Chain A
């Protein structure tokens, strides 16, 4: 079943990229979910879409080729994330307001850029729902670098990210630089989203960050365990989703998300069974 993925270059790059985003998306997703910021991923993915559309417009209308939609999407995503963090500072009591502001801004810009670039095409369809054939070698290398950075930063700043997510006031009192760490975190999130979009698509990228976490949350004892389980679930979803999407000719965004939902349902089912299981173990 994997034969095609190993044989063809473009599929191999997709597959390797899939392995990477199966790690990094749920990894940051754990922090996003516990901080109740699930919608930020959606807002940022729409800003990324605006960036992608901007890149397409520049290519088509102005023959600018050095700025591929992938890079411009990433640039917009990072800028959008910084803007969200600033807006959250402005509306302290209504921090979630930053999300619809950025999200609608992203969609608005997308519409403008897309129509200037002569409207909808298959490329755009791939960006919306993901594609098994969209990852070039250069894209892959960039995503590899981003993944290394993300795993490194999360490992180095794990205790700060964890402490701040749990209790921001206490963390600040004890002397942590909440603002800087939030900013660092949201920029990382923007990078993950931009990196994942080629495979999962704009509309479904937030699902890959949150659904595996939602599933592992029900099973895990403690935060580290939840992180670990989330990555395993994310990886499973990406692998099964990519392969089945390829053979069924369905954009992988759809299949990956459906696999994630099945995992989520299973975890809810297991949780219901588990109390009985542990009782059995005790009586042995």
Chain B
């Protein structure tokens, strides 16, 4: 397992919205092309440090962004 997790969202606009939210909340995140195994709901996904998954899950849930899934990257 890697140190990274990935947030899969429905649209590019949501990905950019989530990226901005994480960045302005002080997380080190990165937009990446969505890994194939998580389908292609949206071409962009947000990669983050997996050890922060709990805080990030909560932050995203509170924001109302339509998150499709949050996974630990291999």
A is bound by B: no
Q: Name A's B-contacting residues (CB within 8 A).
A: none
Q: Name B's A-contacting residues (CB within 8 A).
A: none
